[in-house]
Structure 1
Amino acid sequence: MGLDAARGLLACPVCAEGLDLGPAAATCRQGHSFDVARQGHLNLLGAAQPANADTAAMVEARSRVLDSGAFDAVDAALARRATGARTILDVGGGTGHHLARLLDALPAARGVSLDVSVPAARRAARAHDRAASVVADAWGTLPLRTKRFSLVTCVFAPRNLREFARVLADAGLLLVVTPDPDHLRSLRERHGLLGIEADKDDRLARAASGLFETIGRHRVRAALSADAALVRDLIAMGPNAFHGVPEEVDPIDTEVAVSVWLFRRLG
């Protein structure tokens, strides 16, 4: 299925008309056309990717971390709360890993992985045969049709809640994963990595107000014994990589500590 998994879900980033998917291009009734990349993804960004988008090296590091099973508990928590979803949007989908695990758990579902990084989109295009990969800016108007998704997921990614509410169907679910203060704490302290904002939970609640009803919060905890290679990849997969990845690191015992927030669309 590949990109065809997005049939009926995409909107033209120029005029907002629905996009029809062909084997080589996506087109709208106004005549706007967007080529399908040979790697299988569709670029609807309309500009060069921003300087802070994930690089190819960051994508490869993230893929190794996710393949290691370090975040399997997060995937399991998402799957338990996605029961019944038929159309899924994963915003900031990266390698497509989290969406692929949801689709494994939901045989009748299809989904779209949306990310601003072209290297990430290339990887996501081959993550699952029922997943489409699209390059777009999560902070802008999403190139997606209104009320077409039963579930939106956002794992450590930009939260454009007004747009999430627009593309969700009535009573659709939003699952947001945020790091808790203990998330990778020993790793972050050992290597002076970026911290976690103290007011992030309050900011999420304020942003959701008037758009979503908060229906639950589930805390996920999983011990993680990281060897030196995994430590390097954990540093290299995120924004800390822009400041350099140390060559010499030691194994470390740390913890995956996140919250899975459940929101239901109002109206």
Structure 2
Amino acid sequence: MIDGALPYLRCPVCGETLERAGDRALRCPRAHNFDIARQGYVSLTAGRAPHSGDTAEMIEDREAFLAEGHYDFIANALSETVRPDDGLVLDAGTGTGHYLARVLDAAPDAQGLGLDVSKPALRRAARAHPRAGAALADLWRPLPLQDACVSVLINVFAPRNGPEYRRVLHSDGLLLVVTPAQDHLAELVDAYGLIGVDPAKPARVADTLGADFHARGTTTLRHRMRLTAAETRTLIGMTPSARHLSIKEIEASDITVTAAVDLTLYAPA
């Protein structure tokens, strides 16, 4: 439900506070209105988003794959790192809300909010957890949140807007960033010609966040997955390569794959 996150939100047009305007909208004192979709997420954009994010097919594959527990090692690491408190946990680029839900389970007094531009993703994120709200918002634009209102910000395989993340995070808050390590899904990359991890990615992440945060440490997590042919196809379907391949035409087979990610903890500079 969006109500738990409501005290932390601000109007994306004028920056004023937001409140309920009936069952299906939020409104600011200057009468800017924002619709709440039937599925529960609210659209908090100040104009048309430049892109629509992951497709319905990609989100369906992601939900199916995550439900099998293959990426639980990531969710567990995030949950073990979060400090339970009564603040707001923000998931920037939330997808289905899978990781946000796991973090909220470890922080029983916190409220959660997931931001994404994919409507198919938000339909699931809005019901991912009783204390999680979901909002349509472009991470590259000013976030529809009050200054210094976020206790924990998680960012898993998603864009990083350093200045905005710093603005909304408490001075003693924590930013958790998960990015693919160099050998992430290397077996699939080799077998199916998928898009590999850019060797310059760590430097680009550092450049994006370096002016606003300092890194407190990075842990590389690895997990070996034995996948069936169906799971292989599903995993490919949730990756960026799905935009360039015909998933139905892939002749998938059983395969052992290495999932490898870097989890970096950042504190505000």
TM-score, normalised with respect to structure 1: 0.95
Deviations 1:174-231 (A, max 9, x none): 0000100111110111111111111111122222223112111111111111111111
Q: CA deviation at 1:48?
A: 5.0
One-letter amino acid matched to 1:14: V
Match of 1:14 in 2: 13
One-letter amino acid matched to 2:15: A
Query: Which structure 1 segments of 5+ residues have no match?
Result: none
Q: Distance in 1 between matches of 2:143 and 2:221?
A: 29
TM-score, normalised with respect to structure 2: 0.95
Q: Does the aligned pair in 2 maintain the 1:228–1:250 contact within 8 Å?
A: yes
Which secondary structure state, in structure 1, belongs to the residue aligned with residue 139 of structure 2?
Answer: coil
One-letter amino acid matched to 1:254: V
Match of 1:210 in 2: 211
Match of 2:2 in 1: 3
Which secondary structure state, in structure 2, belongs to the residue aligned with residue 133 of structure 1?
Answer: strand
Match of 2:241 in 1: 240
1:255 aligns with 2:258: yes
Q: Distance in 2 between matches of 1:218 and 1:9?
A: 31
Q: Which moved more, 1:214-223 or 1:201-210?
A: 201-210
1:31 aligns with 2:31: yes
Match of 1:174 in 2: 175
Q: Distance in 2 between matches of 1:5 and 1:54?
A: 26
Q: How does 1:64-75 map to 2 (within 5 A)?
A: 64-75=64-75
Q: Distance in 2 between matches of 1:12 and 1:93?
A: 20
Which secondary structure state, in structure 1, belongs to the residue aligned with residue 14 of structure 2?
Answer: coil
One-letter amino acid matched to 2:9: L
Match of 1:162 in 2: 163
Identity of aligned residues (%): 43
Q: Which moved more, 1:125-134 or 1:19-28?
A: 19-28
Q: Which moved more, 1:80-89 or 1:175-184?
A: 80-89
Q: Does the aligned pair in 1 maintain the 2:220–2:262 contact within 8 Å?
A: yes
Deviations 1:5-44 (A, max 9, x none): 2121111111111211343211111110111111100011
Query: Which structure 2 segments of 5+ residues have no match?
Result: none
Which secondary structure state, in structure 1, belongs to the residue aligned with residue 243 of structure 2?
Answer: helix
Root-mean-square deviation (CA), in Å? Answer: 1.3
Match of 2:92 in 1: 91
Q: Distance in 2 between matches of 1:17 and 1:99?
A: 26
Q: Does the aligned pair in 2 maintain the 1:124–1:133 contact within 8 Å?
A: yes
One-letter amino acid matched to 1:100: A
Q: Does the aligned pair in 2 maintain the 1:45–1:116 contact within 8 Å?
A: no
One-letter amino acid matched to 1:262: L
Runs of 4 or more off by more than 3 Å in structure 1? 46-52
236, 260, 264: which one pairs with 2:267? Answer: 264
